[in-house]
A and B are shown apart, each in its own frame.
Chain A
Amino acid sequence: MTDGAPLSWEEVARTHGRKIYNFAYRLTGNPDDAKDLAQEVLIRVERGLANYTPGSFEGWLWRITRNAFLDDVRRKKRRPTTALPIDLDRTDLISTPPPDEVLASIRLGDDVQKALLGLPYDFREAVVLCDVVGLSYDEIAIAVAAPVGTVRSRIHRGRKMMREALT
């Protein structure tokens, strides 16, 4: 996406809605919370687009997303880490590989999701923005309002924690 290009809200929803939902899901581990959050983010994006000034669109969008998540956590006075759902909705999977592979990926995915939820928030957020959303370090720095060096450190330490949790 070209930074600064005129954006319609529906265009943003279409191109980024799924990413926002996946970010929310991996951060919370809970489909209900993820859905509420994704919806709240899209509403905030609709309101905010009028005031969007050309710059890093990704940084802007993910800052909104992150702030919505943190506001939600504060409002509901719950810990960012919530219980993992017992059953993943398999119809939510985009691709439909053979059943054995689907089951294997869900089983392994559960372990990875649990490990993510075990990370302190700052590290989980950095890892998810990098490895689930696919942002650059510069974009993550804007989104989380931290220096790039801090982002680099959080991603690195987050991955080390993931590795320890999964070994």
Chain B
Amino acid sequence: MNHVGELASAYLDGETTPKEASRLVAHLADCDACQREMADLHAARSVVRSLPVLELPESIRVDLGLSPDVVPFRSRPAAWVGTAAAAVMIFVAVATAAAPDSVGLTLVEVSAQYEQQALVDGGVSPVVGLVRAGGGE
């Protein structure tokens, strides 16, 4: 197949079909360029997902006449917030080792830093398979 292209982002989001995913993983095993591309895309995805989650301003609740008892914005944990899987760190480490001269390293490092406090998770677990296949471990 050709280079992974758009499939790469979809894969990171868990939005590929099983067939697409296996084709992508097989290609990555033999293509350094796509491995680097994958690492860059993952880093770009991670930094946005790791942006701090902001609280809904109290003034909105007041302006809309919502009861603080019924709508306890501040006290509720965010159901949509998760933690980053260790798999992400493994992926970043492997990607970094595989491409020591990649121009994307700075971003990858920033991404790794962000993962320490990642706030949003999702579609991450397939990366474990990617690392094993792509990293030849």
Identify the A interface with B (CB < 8 A).
10, 13-15, 17-22, 25-26, 31, 35, 38-39, 42-43, 92-95, 97, 101, 104-106, 108-109, 112-113, 116, 127-128, 130-134, 136-137, 152-153, 155-156, 159-160, 162-163, 166-167
Contact = CB atoms under 8 A, between A and B. Distances in A.
B9 A94 contact: no
Given A10-B70, A92-B52, A160-B40, 6 more contacts: A13-B71, A22-B53, A92-B54, A95-B117, A132-B49, A137-B10
Interface string B40-69: 110111011111111111011101101100
B19 interface: no
Nearest to B110: A108
A92 B57 CA distance: 8
Contacts of A155: 9-10, 13
A153 B51 CA distance: 23
Nearest to B8: A156
Contact of A137 (B15, B49, B106): B15
A21 B52 contact: no
A152 B56 contact: no
Contacts of B104: 163, 167
B1 interface: no
Contacts of B26: none
Interface of B: 5-6, 8-10, 13, 15, 40-41, 43-45, 47-57, 59-61, 63-64, 66-67, 70-73, 76, 78-81, 103-104, 106-107, 110, 113-114, 116-117, 120, 122
A18 B15 contact: no
A167 B106 contact: yes
A93 B6 contact: no
Contact of B60 (A42, A108, A167): A42
Given A39-B64, A155-B13, A94 B51 contact: no
A47 to B, nearest CB: 13
Nearest to B49: A131
Contacts of B110: 108, 166
